[in-house]
Amino acid sequence: MMLLVGLGNPNPNNSNNRHNVGFLVIDAINQKFKLSKQKPKFKGLLTTGKINEQKVYAIKPLTFMNSSGICIKELIEYFKIDVKNVFVFHDDMDIDLGKIKAKFGGSSAGHNGIESIDKNIGKLYSRIRIGIGRPKDNSTGADHVLDNFSKDEKKSIDEVTNNIIESMSALISKDLDLFSSKINQK
């Protein structure tokens, strides 16, 4: 059993923000693998199904980014999901737009959503960091993540999302190195 988590903010005005790239990925996974209809549970929107014969749950926490860990903790305790089987998709300004880095454990690097998860379930889960790049103008990091993607940026994000979906078998088998290399080579 695996849990796929997409981080974002539930306000409809935030749907195309850079900070919501995790939600975009979960929506694409739900659609491609025909997971169940989203239901409000565990302070999030939950779906379930199978990917490559592996039972998966996918959730978009509705607790806002800075409290994402609350939702995840409730869900893994209820379904008795091993923390090592949790995969979190989130934005990262330190990675070029359209690239990803996947890793097991590590620090939050100042990402408030990841800090919340670490506080609630520990650090022994996998993170799929999706590059949104640094601000090109004088805007702050907070402004940058809460701004909408430009048309060109959205094309890059759609492409990386498609590459993530095409590489899900490597993720399901927990081969993070293969998963990352497949996506970044495309």
Please identify every residue annotated as catalytic: 19
Q: What is the DSSP string of the chain?
A: -EEEEE-----GGGTTBGGGHHHHHHHHHHHHTTPPPPEEETTEEEEEEEETTEEEEEEEESS-GGGHHHHHHHHHHHHT--GGGEEEEEEETTS-TT-EEEEES---TT-HHHHHHHHHH-S-SEEEEEE----SSS--HHHHHHSBPPHHHHHHHHHHHHHHHHTHHHHHTT-HHHHHHHHHH-
Positive or negative CA dihedral for 82, 33, 68, 103? positive
